[in-house]
Amino acid sequence: MRKFVAIGPALVVLFGVAAVMLAGPTAIRQMVFASNTAEVMLARQVIDDDDILQRIDRAVRNIAVATEPSITHIEVLIQSNGRQFGSASSGSGWVYDAEGHIITNAHVVGRASRIDVEFADGRVMRGKLLASDSFTDIAVLKVDPGIGVIPLRRASDQRVNVGERVFAFGSPFNFKFSMSEGIVSGLGRNPETRGSGNTFTNYIQTDAAVNPGNSGGPLVNAQGEVIGMNVAIATGRNGDGVRDGQSAGISFAIPLGVIESVVDQIIETGEVRRGYLGIQADRIAAQTPIKDIEGNFHGMGVIVGEVLTGLAADRAGIQPRDIIAEINGNRITRWHHLRSVVTTAKPDSTISVKLWRDGEEIEVPVSLAEFPVENLYEESVRERLFEAGITLNLNDDRLLLVRVRRESSAYELGFRAGHFIVGVEDQMVNGALDFYSIVGRSEFNYGEPLKFVVEDQGGDRKEITLRVSR
């Protein structure tokens, strides 16, 4: 007898499976959406319950409100044809005191015929350059305060620490009264930079955005207090050792302690005097590890190479091969640290020097001498000549060009290795110190042309005018 198979139940199951397969993706999407909606609602509720970010925003806004009225935009004009003024450069500045002293970088106002100082409230005042110090890249302007100016608060005698939040103010790319944020990335830096020409400071490093136009603007802390002044951005060098002009996104500021030392002297006397220890670094190993008698490591220090007879260090009993570890509570691990701390102090002031000798720590009070003016210019002039392609050395008390880079501006103008520099402008050069002093006192470091008299090995002389970019 033939059997018949009932297919009804199977069809029901088949249709059910098909329905689930068709409806499943929609249901899954609905469940995922519901889950996402729940997460969003929960996150919004947490935001509403916790106002920490709003409080941070309020704090940052208050720093801007408290700082902006003390920021200035500086427009530098130069005179051409004896009458007309043309814009030469611009930068930033900040109010130092209620008397109308404005602080900026020396390189911002170096060639100014006229300086216009603009405030955030729209006031524009004529600024008078009281004095500038190219070795720290600090300049002091004076404006008529009129109805009044608001000085920035300063974090005097406060230690700056890596990781602290900082804010940079200024006019980057002429966007006036701008503010950027970052942290202190490092201290005691002595980098390759653009825009400083600096010799006697060790920088605060920060990742706050700093660009051309920020120069001279303040770097402030989370209390809205000045801790430094924006001065430069880090750059690399190409294969020939020339700065390629590309920023690495790292910026630097002159520490407040250096600023106050220089500015207060300029306001009081119109000139800057610097302390001088009277030592030279060991050329082979200026930085050296410190170990006690038992060989325990006590960090790094600077080893004394030579002690100049009759000067401050010699009078205090400091000896060659001593290792200087600390000055006035500041750790000294590199030569530029030592130089900055000493030159920030005034001549005839007494500093406390902690050093190590034969494995033992000694503390020595030192009454500082005054840094010889003639020696101040050498490093900055050498750097500017190097940028132009010239490497100098002293040969039998004569300045010899030991190298002139091919394709450099100096080479194209006719400078050659083997030439001697015998004169600058209308003055004959009498030794290295005389040369560096003449060039340093000119506007050469700020981009002005300068005439050099060179003599070849045969005794023939010629005049070459050289100009380096700012």
pLDDT, tens only, 389-448: 999 888 777 889 999 999 899 999 999 999 999 999 888 888 887 888 888 878 787 678
φ and ψ at residue 242, rounded to 5 degrees: -95, 140
- In three-state form (DSSP H/G/I as H, E/B as E, the rest C), the secondary structure along 393-413 is EEECCEEEEEEECCCCHHHHH
CA 223 to CA 63: how far, in whole Å? Answer: 7
* Assigned CATH class of 54-272: mainly beta
Average pLDDT over residues 99-110: 91
pLDDT the model gives residue 23: 60
pLDDT the model gives residue 377: 77
Residue 172 carries which side chain, given as an amino acid letter? Answer: P
CA 403 to CA 261: how far, in whole Å? Answer: 38
How long is the chain? 470
- Enumerate the β-bridge partners of residue 365: 352
Give the containing element (helix H, strand E) for 344: helix 335-344
Top pLDDT among 7 and 236 is at 7
Structural contact between residues 275 and 349, judged by C-beta atoms closer than 8 angstroms: yes
Q: Rounded to whole angstroms, what are the CA distances from 380 to 136, 189, 462?
A: 11, 17, 25
pLDDT the model gives residue 334: 83
CA angle 240, 245, 248 (to 5 degrees): 105
Paired sense of beta strands 203-206 and 178-189, if any: antiparallel
Top pLDDT among 438 and 284 is at 438
The average confidence (pLDDT) of the chain is 85
CA angle 435, 438, 443 (to 5 degrees): 130
pLDDT the model gives residue 191: 63
**Catalytic member of 107, 336, 337, 419:** 107
Pick from 28-32, 244-248, 305-309, 369-373: least confident = 244-248
Is 340 one of the catalytic residues?
no
Of 400, 396, 399, the C-alpha closest to 436 is: 399
- CATH fold of the domain at 275-371: Pdz3 Domain (2.30.42)
Top pLDDT among 129 and 334 is at 129
pLDDT the model gives residue 374: 65
Top pLDDT among 140 and 113 is at 140
pLDDT the model gives residue 22: 60
Question: Residue written as tokens 């003024």?
Answer: 85
CA 428 to CA 448: how far, in whole Å? Answer: 20
pLDDT the model gives residue 81: 64
Per-residue pLDDT band at 112 (split at 50, 70, 90): confident
- CATH fold of the domain at 374-466: Pdz3 Domain (2.30.42)
CA angle 440, 446, 447 (to 5 degrees): 110
Is 185 one of the catalytic residues?
no
Q: Rounded to whole angstroms, what are the CA distances from 41 to 35, 45, 47?
A: 10, 6, 10
Question: Residue written as tokens 């190993």?
Answer: 285
Average pLDDT over residues 330-351: 87
Out of 125-139, 188-202, 426-440, the most confident range is: 125-139
CA 167 to CA 224: how far, in whole Å? Answer: 8
For the chain, report the end-to-end CA distance as a whole number of angstroms. Answer: 111
Average pLDDT over residues 442-466: 89
**Catalytic member of 137, 196, 261, 408:** 137
pLDDT the model gives residue 35: 85
Average pLDDT over residues 361-371: 92
Share of the chain above pLDDT 70, in %: 85
Look at residue 295 and tell me whether its pLDDT is greater than 50. yes
Average pLDDT over residues 376-393: 84
SS3 170: strand
Average pLDDT over residues 80-107: 84
Structural contact between residues 419 and 402, judged by C-beta atoms closer than 8 angstroms: no
pTM metric for this prediction: 0.74
Share of the chain above pLDDT 90, in %: 46
Per-residue pLDDT band at 36 (split at 50, 70, 90): confident
CA 339 to CA 349: how far, in whole Å? Answer: 15
Average pLDDT over residues 110-125: 89
Average pLDDT over residues 86-95: 85
- Enumerate the β-bridge partners of residue 395: 398
CA 84 to CA 404: how far, in whole Å? Answer: 38
pLDDT the model gives residue 135: 80
Check for a shared fold between 275-371 and 374-466.
yes
Of 236, 175, 186, the C-alpha closest to 208 is: 186
pLDDT tens profile 226-282: 999 998 766 554 544 444 444 557 889 999 999 999 999 999 998 888 899 988 776
CA 319 to CA 52: how far, in whole Å? Answer: 56
Look at residue 464 and tell me whether its pLDDT is greater than 70. yes
Average pLDDT over residues 85-93: 80
Average pLDDT over residues 350-356: 93
Pick from 1-5, 180-184, 358-362: least confident = 1-5
CA angle 115, 121, 122 (to 5 degrees): 50
Domains of the chain, residue spans = 1-50, 54-272, 275-371, 374-466
pLDDT the model gives residue 20: 55
Look at residue 159 and tell me whether its pLDDT is greater than 70. yes
Top pLDDT among 52 and 169 is at 169
Is 97 one of the catalytic residues?
no
Average pLDDT over residues 273-301: 83
